[in-house]
Amino acid sequence: MISTSTKNKLIEMHLSAMADAFILQEGDPTMKEVAFEDRFGMLVDAEYTTRKNNRYKRLIKKAELEQPDACIAGIDYHSGRKLNRDLINRLATCDYIADYRNIFITGATGSGKTYLACAFGMAACKRYYSTKFIRMPDMLLDLQSAREDGTFKKVLAKYTKPVLLIIDEWLLIKLNDQEVRNLFEVISKRRKHSSTIFCSQFLEEGWYDQLGDNGTLADAIMDRITYDSYKINIVSIDPSKDISMREVYGLDPAEAQ
């Protein structure tokens, strides 16, 4: 039988799952008939699986997804929206991340942009890619505050290090010159090193105007993201019957009063 000392050593070496699995084996009489190599393989599998699961959980927590329950399988293709299922399924493999490509998700308020982006984010976490979700107004405030207190380089790393960055509410409000400069730093450092998902109410052709009055920086930003991006524009099949996805999945009005 394995000694208490050996169990403690496994725990000290952060092999707790292996120690727990061995304790379970000790209490299972049928394990006496299993070859040592097979039993040892089971212990390694237990430790390996636990570490993988813990890593996955940490990635999801650090991603701070607005909708952590989102998933590719949960995407609604029957809600009256035009969605390219083939493209979405291809992007769900995360090959675009390996190729350092981006995704533009555009559509009206309530069209399901954030859910779709978070579903891609969850798919990335499942493949152990570091992911971060951020609203653009929050990111710009964070960067500008860092400029003012001398921590810009440190804060900039929050948005350049994740393999996948999801920027929600992209260019919702027209930017001022300093905001455009800060944004350029993020976009420039991420290009050809990582992937970004941009969620916007504006179509791509309207982004240039939202990037303020500095045409040179606007050109530079658009040039760095336009040609490396897949594009998903969520539109209604019948605009006259268009309703928000928040209304579709929200509280029944009969239960709201």
pLDDT, one tens digit per residue, over 218-236 is: 999 999 999 999 999 998 8
Higher pLDDT, residue 22 or 69 = 69
CA distance 102 to 99: 9
Q: Which two tokens stand for residue 4?
A: 């208490």
Poorest-pLDDT segment among 26-40, 77-91, 96-110, 137-151: 26-40
- pLDDT band at residue 69, thresholds of 50, 70 and 90? very high
Cα–Cα distance for residue pair 217/140, rounded to 1 Å? 16
Instruction: Give residue 29's pLDDT.
Output: 84
Angle at CA of residue 157, ends 151 and 158, nearest 5° = 100
Which is more confidently placed, 96 or 36?
A: 96
- What are 239's two structure tokens? 């605009």
- Is residue 1 over pLDDT 90? no
Closest CA to 159 of 194, 111, 211: 194
Interatomic CA distance for residues 134 and 147, integer angstroms: 18
pLDDT per position as a tens digit, 136-173: 999 999 999 999 999 999 999 999 999 999 999 999 99
Q: Closest Cα partner for 184 from 219, 210, 154?
A: 219
Predicted pLDDT of residue 15: 85
Q: Is the pLDDT of residue 256 over 60?
A: no
Q: How confident is the model at residue 186 (pLDDT cuts 50, 70, 90)?
A: very high
Side chain identity at residue 196, one-letter code: T
The answer to whether 194 and 163 have CB atoms below 8 angstroms apart is yes
DSSP tally for the chain: helices H, then strands E: 12, 6
207 has pLDDT over 60: yes
**Domains of the chain, with CATH numbers?**
4-62 (no CATH), 66-237 (3.40.50.300)
Q: What is the pLDDT of residue 46?
A: 87
Cα(184)–Cα(231) distance, integer angstroms:
21
Mean pLDDT, residues 30-57 taken together: 88
